[in-house]
């Protein structure tokens, strides 16, 4: 009995020590996170709380006069055709660019992950250069490259691929796909790096085993590598989708949402509502409501899709 | 696993919300702004000026280093401004000028943040869409009367002063940048016209279309009839308003509101004629295909490179062409009118407020001295800009002496001959200031509809114009009601578009 008591006493001490260690560990974690959390609260948390407040106001953002209007801004959004146009354009853009971005960047990453490829670091840098180039500069240059008298049209007409110059940005049919192609070129370097990280996490012996089993490079990729890096791909897809849903700079620089709202996405719609107006004052409150509504819709759509996916996988 | 996926999705959603809502977030709320307004209002302008003068008196005569912060958007005269700053700092070694030039949009969202944080620049202009009355009520500006010399105001053209634009009562708040001149005349490239065999300068719609057709045919895919900055909806707005006015319609200038027969005059016959004229040019293939993708400065460059025969812009083009394309052989002409239409006029340029001194400026005296130098002959800014053809100065003596640029003279003459002053609701009813704060922008606007025509996204513009007119009328009625203004004040029954609208005309309506 005495022995048992001693044993249990020891157990308590060890638990106490473990608990203490855990507390110390947690304290260190919080300490290291404090700066990031502080910045998050300051630059993300506070603005979003302000946005929620502003979305309930009829306020230009320029004067001190702001009237509480409850959910009127949200109600107005529901009947605003231009908001819905921007809303669907954002999803159209995302639906076009995410698969392309994932496929092209994975292809590049897989090519560059080949150890036998000489000068792969030069290629990596080359593909990454557009990422570090300022979007506004890319936009301005692309306007001229894709212009009616630009080199792309010159090539198309001189090779008789097209009889007439193609108005890539001035025609409502082509403007959004053109933006998608430019964004793809500009951003695929980032996703290529993510894929490379995923590919490099695949153990070498897996490749060796596949080679021993007689698998060629294509089979190795589709049967061995792709299943192994799919979880990384999921994260990359989420990041890519988030970035494309909030696309702004390339649209603002190249088309300003035009021609006639053909490339107007939520971010340009929000910007226009918040900061510019032709008659009267801008509408910061309304713009805040649009941003929050869109964000909320994205969460709901995501949850619904996730639910459908869960049911489908169960039934299969 | 499922929880993780759900978590990832939620995180993704939240990140999207945060990123987007960040666009609209500002660091202060309306209430705080109201408080600051109340504080600003606690002192009368005169008292505030006295306080400032006292504060200035303390530093006068000292060698204290002063930094004057100036923010604006005057890109048309940027080089002259830099030269002026250099000279000013040489002659005032204790003053450093920190000059920031932004685009109009950048300025709009930057200035509000600066002022809300109590860190506004010493000198800055009023952003578009805001009236002087509102800006003063918000505590943005202070009167400059007590800081400028008595004879400073005497040199200005009396027409450059206007209640609600530069002054409120006896208090002088802002100085306008230039004499108002219409922003929409047509420049033509003489060489391009000559090569295409266009010998007569077109004056009517059909003549203009014919000239554009000839230029486009002769250009063989390299040169087109007309080019403009179609990406800028505001420029398209100016273009179609001017065309409609030249067709005999009664339309307010851009950003302004007027009704005709109780309605927003956006679906009138004249407006339809103007839109039809533009659509005709599109159908003829006479519009430069890049027009929809480019801004006004880009269009200006491409016109100068000989890519189009005509360009519709303002006087500000003359100076950059003088510098960048000294051999450009061009002229200027009036806005074309429908066939058979005579004796019509476009909306005369309206005086607009420009820069003033920040109410919280620590150096109001120095800021006012800067303004006096900027508008003096001695420092060469006004004379240089007039010489370059950048603008018509608000100082008549400078215009007389330095307006030597022939194209500028031609522009000014045509602008004066083909425009008439249009009535404004702010001159008629003080509540109009509140109306402009209250009224909401209706989209697609006239400019957006023109963009739709140019990009061939709209084939039937009549329906778009009707919707715009109906929605605008409804919104203007609502805004009038909200601020307690009579909707009838938007209508000027005694307005004859063939004559300047005068003070007497306003009096008649009282």
How close does chain A come to B409, measured CA to CA in Å?
A: 30
CB proximity B457 to A under 8 Å: yes
Is the pLDDT score of B98 beyond 60? Answer: yes
Interchain contact, A276 vs B2, CB within 8 Å = no
Dmax (CA) for chain A in angstroms is 99
How do B66-72 and B167-168 pair as beta strands?
Answer: unpaired
Answer yes or no: do A259 and B457 touch at CB < 8 A.
yes
pTM of the model: 0.83
Q: What average pLDDT score do residues A216-235 get?
A: 89
Check pLDDT > 70 for residue A234. Answer: yes
- Is residue B142 within a helix (H) or strand (E), and if so which, with residue range? strand B141-142
Quote the pLDDT of residue B283: 95
Tell if the CB–CB gap between A241 and B19 is shorter than 8 Å: no
In angstroms, rounded to a whole number, what is the distance separating the alpha carbons of residues B112 and B139? 12
- Chain B contact set for A57 (CB, 8 A): 30
Is the distance from CB of B36 to CB of A64 less than 8 angstroms? yes
Domains and CATH numbers, chain B: 43-175+351-379 (3.40.190.10), 180-349+417-510 (3.40.190.10)
More confidently predicted of A9 and A163: A163
Q: Does A185 touch chain B (CB under 8 A)?
A: no
Residue with tokens 């990832």: B8
> Counting beta carbons within 10 angstroms of the beta carbon of residue A45, is it exposed (0 to 12), middle (13 to 18) or buried (19 or more)?
middle
Please, what is the angle between helix A120-132 and helix A172-200, to 10°? Answer: 140
Tell me which residue has tokens 């008649």. B508
In chain A, residues with a C-beta closer than 8 Å to the C-beta of B442 are 279
pLDDT exceeds 80 at position B108: no
DSSP secondary structure, B62-101, as one string: S---EEEEEEE--GGGHHHHHHHHHHHHHH-TTEEEEEEE
Percent of chain B with pLDDT strictly greater than 90: 65
CATH of A83-267, one of 3.40.50.11540, 1.10.3720.10, 1.10.357.10, 1.10.1380.10: 1.10.3720.10
CB contact under 8 A, B222 and A171: no
| B17 in contact with A, Cβ within 8 Å | yes
Instruction: For residue range B148-204, list pLDDT tens digits in order.
Output: 998 899 999 998 998 888 999 999 999 998 898 888 999 999 999 999 999 999 999
For the segment A286-300, what is each residue's pLDDT rounded down to a tens digit? 999 999 999 999 889
Q: How close is the nearest chain B Cα to the Cα of A23, in Å?
A: 25
Residue A280 has pLDDT above 90, yes or no: no
Per-residue model confidence as pLDDT tens digits over A172-216:
999 999 999 999 999 999 999 999 999 999 998 888 899 899 988
- Asked if pLDDT for residue B414 goes beyond 70, the answer is yes
Between residues B16 and B69, the one the model is more confident about = B69
Give pLDDT tens digits for B21-41: 444 434 343 333 333 333 333
Nearest to A284, CA basis, from B139, B437, B26, B436:
B26
Is B5 part of the contact surface with chain A (CB cutoff 8 Å)?
A: yes
Residue B78 to chain A, least CA–CA distance (Å)? 21
Q: What is the ipTM of this complex?
A: 0.80
Distance (Å, whole) CA B334 – CA B350: 18
Residues in chain A: 316
Pair of tokens at residue A282: 């801008």
Tell whether A120 is within 8 A of chain B (Cβ). Answer: no
**What gap in Å lies between CA B464 and CA B276, rounded to an integer?**
13
* CA atoms of B452 and B459, how far apart (whole Å): 8
**What pLDDT does residue B113 have?**
82
Residue B3 pLDDT: 60
Contacts for B216-221 with beta carbons within 8 Å, 24 or more apart? Answer: B216/B284, B216/B285, B216/B286, B219/B192, B221/A165
B439: closest CA of chain A, how far (Å): 5
Q: Which residue would you say has higher pLDDT here, A145 or B18?
A: A145
Give Cβ neighbours of residue A184 (< 8 Å, ≥ 6 apart).
Answer: A97, A100, A101, A104
The conformational region for residue A65 under phi > 0 = left, psi -120 to 50 = alpha, else beta, is beta
The pLDDT of residue A11 is 62
Report whether pLDDT(A278) > 50.
yes
User: What's the pLDDT at B10?
Assistant: 59
Question: What is the pLDDT confidence band of residue B14, given thresholds at 50, 70 and 90?
Answer: low
CB spacing of B294 vs A143 below 8 angstroms: yes
Residues B141 and B162: their CA atoms lie apart, in Å, by: 16
Gap between the Cα atoms of B405 and B316, Å rounded: 13
Q: Is B15 on the interface with A (CB under 8 A)?
A: yes
Mean pLDDT of the region A220-235 = 89
* C-alpha span between B261 and A212 (Å, rounded): 87
Which residue of A280, A297, A300 to mutate against B (max B Cβ within 10 Å)? A280
Instruction: Give residue B164's pLDDT.
Output: 87
In the prediction, which pLDDT does B35 show? 38
CB contact under 8 A, A50 and B294: no
pLDDT of residue B205: 96
pLDDT attached to residue A231: 87
């Amino acid at each position: 009995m005495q022995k048992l008591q001693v044993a249990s006493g020891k157990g308590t001490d060890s638990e106490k020590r473990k608990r203490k260690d855990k507390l110390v560990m947690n304290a260190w974690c919080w300490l290291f996170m404090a700066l990031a959390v502080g910045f998050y609260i300051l630059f993300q948390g506070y603005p979003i709380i302000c946005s929620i407040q502003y979305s309930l106001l009829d306020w230009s953002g320029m004067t001190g006069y702001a009237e509480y209007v409850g959910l009127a801004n949200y109600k107005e959004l529901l009947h605003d055709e231009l908001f819905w146009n921007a809303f669907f354009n954002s999803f159209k853009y995302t639906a076009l660019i995410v698969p392309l971005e994932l496929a092209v960047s994975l292809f590049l990453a897989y090519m560059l992950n080949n150890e036998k490829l000489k000068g792969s670091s030069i290629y990596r840098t080359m593909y990454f250069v557009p990422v570090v180039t300022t979007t506004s500069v890319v936009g301005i240059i692309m306007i001229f490259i894709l212009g009616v008298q630009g080199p792309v049209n010159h090539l198309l007409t001189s090779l008789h691929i097209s009889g007439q110059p193609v108005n890539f940005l001035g025609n409502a049919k082509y403007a959004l796909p053109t933006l998608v192609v430019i964004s793809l070129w500009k951003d695929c370097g980032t996703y290529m790096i993510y894929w490379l990280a995923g590919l490099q996490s695949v153990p070498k012996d897996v490749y060796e085993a596949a080679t021993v089993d007689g698998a060629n490079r294509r089979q190795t990729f589709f049967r061995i590598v792709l299943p192994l890096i799919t979880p990384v791909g999921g994260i990359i897809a989420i990041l890519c989708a988030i970035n494309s849903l909030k696309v702004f700079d390339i649209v603002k620089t190249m088309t300003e949402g035009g021609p006639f709202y053909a490339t107007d996405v939520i971010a340009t719609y929000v910007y226009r509502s918040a900061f510019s107006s032709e008659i009267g004052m801008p509408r910061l409150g309304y713009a805040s409501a649009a941003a929050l509504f869109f964000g909320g819709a994205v969460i709901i759509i995501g949850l619904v899709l996730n639910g459908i996916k869960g049911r489908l996988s169960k039934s299969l | 696993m499922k929880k993780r996926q759900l978590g990832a999705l939620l995180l993704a959603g939240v990140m999207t919300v945060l990123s987007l809502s960040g666009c609209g977030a500002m660091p202060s709320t309306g209430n705080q702004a109201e408080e600051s307004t109340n504080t600003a209002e606690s002192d009368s302008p005169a008292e505030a000026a006295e306080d400032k003068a006292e504060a200035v008196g303390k530093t006068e005569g000292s060698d204290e280093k002063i930094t004057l912060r100036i923010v604006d958007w005057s890109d048309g005269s940027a080089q002259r401004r830099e030269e002026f700053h250099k000279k000013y700092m040489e002659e005032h070694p204790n003053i450093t000028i920190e000059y920031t030039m932004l685009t109009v949009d950048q300025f709009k969202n930057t200035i509000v943040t600066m002022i809300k944080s109590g860190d506004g620049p010493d000198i800055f202009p009023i952003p578009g869409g805001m009236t002087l009355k509102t800006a003063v009520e918000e505590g943005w500006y202070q009167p400059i009367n007590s800081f400028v010399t008595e004879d400073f105001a005497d040199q200005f053209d009396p027409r450059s002063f206007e209640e609600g634009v530069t002054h409120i009562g006896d208090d002088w708040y802002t100085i306008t940048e230039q004499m108002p001149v219409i922003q929409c005349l047509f420049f033509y490239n003489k060489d391009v016209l000559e090569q295409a065999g266009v010998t007569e300068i077109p004056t009517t719609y059909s003549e203009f279309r014919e000239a554009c057709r000839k230029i486009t045919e002769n250009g063989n895919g390299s040169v087109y009839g007309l080019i403009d900055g179609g990406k800028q909806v505001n420029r398209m707005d100016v273009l179609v308003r001017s065309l409609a006015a030249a067709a005999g319609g009664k339309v307010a200038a851009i950003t302004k509101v007027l009704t005709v027969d109780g309605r927003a005059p956006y679906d009138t016959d004249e407006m339809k004629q103007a839109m039809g004229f533009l659509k005709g040019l599109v159908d003829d293939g006479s519009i430069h295909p890049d027009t929809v993708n480019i801004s006004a400065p880009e269009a200006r460059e491409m016109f100068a490179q000989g890519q189009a025969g005509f360009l519709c812009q303002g006087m500000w083009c003359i100076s950059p062409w003088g510098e960048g394309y000294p051999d450009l052989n061009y002229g200027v002409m009036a806005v074309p009118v429908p066939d058979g239409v005579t004796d019509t006029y476009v909306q005369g340029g309206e005086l607009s407020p420009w820069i003033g001194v920040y109410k919280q400026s620590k150096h109001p005296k120095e800021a006012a001295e800067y303004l006096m130098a900027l508008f003096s002959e001695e420092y060469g800014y006004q004379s240089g800009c007039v010489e370059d053809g950048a603008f018509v100065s608000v100082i008549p003596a400078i215009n007389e002496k330095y307006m030597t640029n022939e194209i500028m003279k031609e522009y000014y003459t045509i602008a004066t001959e083909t425009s008439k002053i249009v009535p404004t609701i702010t001159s008629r009813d003080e509540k109009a200031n509140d109306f402009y704060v209250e009224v909401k922008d209706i989209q697609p606007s006239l400019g957006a509809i023109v963009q739709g025509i140019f990009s061939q996204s709209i084939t039937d513009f009549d329906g778009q114009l009707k919707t715009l007119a109906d929605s605008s009328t409804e919104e203007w009625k609502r805004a009038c009601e909200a601020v307690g203004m009579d909707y009838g004040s938007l209508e000027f029954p005694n307005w004859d578009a063939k004559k300047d609208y005068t003070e007497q005309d306003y009096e008649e309506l009282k």
